[in-house]
Every structure is written in C-alpha cells, then in structure tokens.
Copies of this chain bind each other. A is one copy, B any other.
Amino acid sequence: MGENKDINNSFLETVKFDETGLVPVIVQDHETGKVLMMAWMNRESLQMTLKNKRACYWSRSRKKLWLKGESSGNMQVVHDILIDCDGDTLLLKVSQTGGACHAGYHSCFYRKATDDLTMDICDTLMFNPDEVYGKKS
C-alpha cells in the first residue's frame, strides 16, 4: 500500500494549493458530524489555523484573511485537520459557536433539493443576520 509511505511527511508540504494559491476546506461539527460550511484557505490562513486552533480562511470576495467569527462572534475552535488522498482538500472538525452561516442558519447547507426540484429549508435559524452584521439598506 504505497499510500502509507507518506504519513511521515510534513502535513504542510502535502497540501496542494491550486493555481490561485487556495485549497478548499470542508468544515464539520466535531461531535455531530454535521457539515457546516465550505471555505478556502491560503498557506498563511492554514498556518494561522494550525497555530491558534481557531479557523482562519481566505475570503475570496474580500480578498483578505478572514478569522471566522471576527464580525459575528461565531468562531470555530479546531479539533482536527484531515487531508484527502490527493492533498487538494482539507476537512476541519470544529466546535462552532452559534451559527456558521451568514444567513443566520447553523449550517450554510440549510436548503435541500425536493423531488419536484425546488428547495426546502432543512436547518435551524440561530440568529438574525440583520442584528449581527447590521441591517442592509
């Protein structure tokens, strides 16, 4: 099983960042297994996450480091970081304060496809985003 040879390698050197310097990160509740969100990291945000055990991402829209919870208070304490076979996707197991989603839900995956190909809400609203982020005009 050739795949076992690399477990003594450096974790950081095993991560394959894409051509824009980013790697997708799946974020999962470490106790329930619920998938909370997907985000992106560059090398700096991954190093900050490893050092501080608090999730830090790269915001593709704002083009800057994004310490999860810096606006909302809904931070993520990191318990484990896993890497996939190809080294190009990470899985974070976290304790999520409040809701992970900017829309106020516990998970960003709060909509489910129905048999008639519309959508149902399938998650719990945790906070009012207007109150947390300020009301948009």
Contact = CB atoms under 8 A, between A and B. Distances in A.
Interface string A1-13: 1011011111110
Contact of A50 (B34, B83, B117, B122): B117
A111 interface: yes
B33 A26 contact: no
A24 B109 CA distance: 13
A46 to B, nearest CB: 10
B85 A110 contact: yes
A28 B91 CA distance: 12
Contacts of A50: 113, 117
Binding site secondary structure of chain A: mixed
Chain A interface extent, by class: 35 or more
A84 interface: yes
Interface string A71-114: 00000000011111110010100000000011111001111111
9 contacts: A3-B110, A9-B119, A35-B35, A38-B89, A50-B113, A80-B113, A81-B112, A82-B112, A85-B108
Give the top 9 A-B pairs by smallest Cβ distance, nearest first: A33-B33, A82-B109, A84-B108, A3-B103, A11-B113, A81-B113, A38-B89, A85-B108, A91-B109
